[in-house]
Structure 1
Amino acid sequence: MASAVAARPPVRAPRRGAGLHEREGRAGYVLVAPTTVLLAIFYLYPLAQTVVFSFTDWNPASPEVPSAVGLDNYAALTDTGGFLSALGHTGLYVLVVVPVSMAVGLFLAALLNTPFRGRSVYRALIFTPYIAPTVGSALIFTYLLTPLGGLVNSVVELFGARPIAFLTTTPWAMVSVLVFSIWQQVGYMMVIYSAALSGIPSSYHEAATIDGAGAVRRFFSISLPLLAPTSGFLAITGIVGALQVFTQVYVLTGGGPLGSTSTVIHWIYQQGFVFFNGGLATAASVVLLLIGIAVTLVQLLVLNRRDTVELS
């Protein structure tokens, strides 16, 4: 009997607080449940429905049940010059707007990093285009670029040149869209970079100053490497946002002239809500989604390889 009792495993007393942790865990599930349900209803379900419609001849203006067409819509995207052209315009937009706005925003953030009187006013003025309504800003921009009496063309005429129809001729229409978008995004980039610069310990710059490094050398050797995570974040969010550009194109040029400024989202809008070719529009939406996911994954893989920052 004694040996049987000795062989019996000891009974562990319940840990204190275990019940509390379980209750907190259940309460957490309850708190996130409404958001999860809303995301499922307003995001996941429409996403699944879009994928399904991309394999059909869905017409948004028709009450008829769409019929399956297989991969015909995706094949039509490669045969349709309009989609490939819009994809090229979107790629150009991403390659120009994102890096230029990041570079200008970083320059302004570094320029305004030193405290001086009125610094907050300058930051607010630069940030204002980002928070201003895009439609209103685009309409003002349209007025400034008008060939008859526009401020920009008035300056052009001072140099003896003829007025330029910036929004209705190539390549000026695309240039106008790019300049307007950069002007919008610079303020946001500047604010994020300013916050990151303020988080760099001043001891790094003080030590470099003692070693004889100038302001430019300190920026490229200390500030710029330490800003790599911030630059990665801005690059990812900037590219994802640039892939979805629509309002600027719709208000400024309407995709013209002759589709020379039409982007993917604008092309999808035309196919779905102008020509009522919903199947083709949803197929293009799925392709754009896959492109965005692929670009984001590549950027995340590149950023994950930079676990440490070395200061030279």
Structure 2
Amino acid sequence: MSELHASPPRRRAASRDGTADLHRRREGRAGYVFVAPTTLLLAVFYLWPLAQTVVFSFSDWNPGTGRVTESVGLENFTHVLTDPEFRRAVLNTLVYVVTVVPCSMGLGLVFAALLARPFRGRGLYRTLIFTPYIAPIVGSALIFSFLLTPLGGLVNQGLGLLGVRPIAFLTTEPWAMVSVVVFSTWQLVGYTMIIYSAALTNVPESYHEAATLDGAGPVRRFLSISLPLVAPTSGFLAITGVIGALQVFTQVYVLTGGGPLGSTETVLYWIYEQGFVLFNGGPASAAAVLLLVFGILASVLQLTVISRRDTVELS
């Protein structure tokens, strides 16, 4: 009799489990339907061009005619790696990365710390600092180039008041690269400031109160509490900053055009010239593949370093 009384609940439980499984399967199918358009767009506009670039890197391809005449093996890669102009472009890109990324992160953290406490006009200051990041790069670069012109530019007018002769910032070395770095840092610092501001708001106020009771000043509290606790945010900004800096193009194209004498030519600008000016599609594709591989390796290295710092120790 006990078995007869126990069997209906078991059947009801099995029925509920079957209904739950059916709902999960339906939700799973609905999820595939929702992600299908994004997957299709990524495949058409990213994965397929990427596969084509890899194929073109091993062939003699003319972007002007779209013709792929023959397979050349590793000849394009050999040409790229032995080209002095490409090696100089790699060096210029590395200089850009190691200057723009740390400077934009450092200034963004400083501004975020200065604007962390509420005061009158804080929102206005944040808006002014963040505006260059959302402004169109081409328009900002054109205004920046006007400010740096030797005759009539506001920067040279200010230097003239100090008795300094006009400087051709965009057409002489090393000022051309300095100008590109300053412009890019000015453009990115607002983004890093906003990200750091969000991270600083998550730092428990009790930490600062305890440090204040121990006699720590603002600088000491910042270095011992805020800076270690925003380390994960710094890692995120470092990875995204390096990836973005490796692909710098618009700033160079508008401000200097890669000059003078290739002193500001970056890897992506070299790829543009080879592919769309000289129509050497094979070497351009090979350089694009090398840039992709280098970006992946740099990201993996940074993630490896960051993952080893799982815990944050406050000193």
Fold equivalence (TM over 0.5): yes
**C-alpha displacement of 1:63:** 4.5
**C-alpha displacement of 1:264:** 0.5
SS at match of 1:311: coil
Tell me the residue number matched to 2:135.
132
Tell me the residue number matched to 2:75.
72
Partner letter of residue 69 of structure 1? V
1:56 to 59, 65, 69: 59
Aligned: 1:13 with 2:14: yes
Partner letter of residue 294 of structure 2? I
1:291 to 290, 294, 298: 294
1:192 to 192, 195, 218: 195
Tell me the residue number matched to 2:97.
94
| Alignment partners' CA distance in 2, 1:66 and 1:151 | 52
Q: Name the count of aligned residue pairs.
A: 303
Tell me the residue number matched to 1:33.
36
Tell me the residue number matched to 1:300.
303
Distance of aligned partners of 1:63 and 1:133 in 2 relative to their CA distance in 1, 3 Å threshold: closer
CA contact (8 A) 2:60 2:68 kept: no
Distance of aligned partners of 1:301 and 1:102 in 2 relative to their CA distance in 1, 3 Å threshold: same
Aligned: 1:241 with 2:244: yes
Query: Which deviates more from structure 2 when the two are superposed, residues 213-222 or residues 45-54?
Result: 213-222
SS at match of 1:265: helix
- In percent, how many aligned pairs have the same letter? 68
| Alignment partners' CA distance in 2, 1:99 and 1:67 | 44
User: Deviations for 1:142-161, whole angstroms, at most 9, x for unmatched residues?
Assistant: 11100111111111111222
**C-alpha displacement of 1:64:** 3.2
CA contact (8 A) 2:108 2:190 kept: yes
| Alignment partners' CA distance in 1, 2:101 and 2:67 | 42
After TM superposition, what 4+ stretches of structure 1 lie above 6 angstroms from structure 2?
none
Tell me the residue number matched to 1:7.
none
| Alignment partners' CA distance in 2, 1:65 and 1:140 | 41
| Alignment partners' CA distance in 2, 1:72 and 1:211 | 66
SS at match of 1:17: helix
Aligned: 1:83 with 2:86: yes
| Alignment partners' CA distance in 1, 2:68 and 2:87 | 29
Please show how residues 216-227 of structure 1 align to structure 2 within 5 Å. Answer: 216-227=219-230
| Alignment partners' CA distance in 2, 1:218 and 1:282 | 50
Tell me the residue number matched to 1:6.
none
| Alignment partners' CA distance in 2, 1:77 and 1:157 | 44
Distance of aligned partners of 1:29 and 1:63 in 2 relative to their CA distance in 1, 3 Å threshold: closer
List runs of 5+ in structure 2 lacking aligned partners: 1-9
CA RMSD of the aligned region, Å? 1.3
Tell me the residue number matched to 1:282.
285
Aligned: 1:153 with 2:138: no
Query: Which deviates more from structure 2 when the two are superposed, residues 200-209 or residues 86-95?
Result: 200-209
| Alignment partners' CA distance in 1, 2:81 and 2:37 | 41
Distance of aligned partners of 1:63 and 1:49 in 2 relative to their CA distance in 1, 3 Å threshold: closer
SS at match of 2:119: coil
| Alignment partners' CA distance in 2, 1:64 and 1:198 | 56
Partner letter of residue 45 of structure 2? F
Provide TM-score, normalisation by structure 2.
0.94
Tell me the residue number matched to 2:232.
229
**C-alpha displacement of 1:38:** 1.1
Provide TM-score, normalisation by structure 1.
0.95
**C-alpha displacement of 1:201:** 1.3
| Alignment partners' CA distance in 2, 1:297 and 1:172 | 33
1:122 to 116, 120, 125: 125
**C-alpha displacement of 1:62:** 2.0
| Alignment partners' CA distance in 1, 2:221 and 2:68 | 65
**C-alpha displacement of 1:115:** 0.7
Distance of aligned partners of 1:124 and 1:63 in 2 relative to their CA distance in 1, 3 Å threshold: closer
User: Deviations for 1:205-247, whole angstroms, at most 9, x for unmatched residues?
Assistant: 1111122221111111111111000000000000000000000
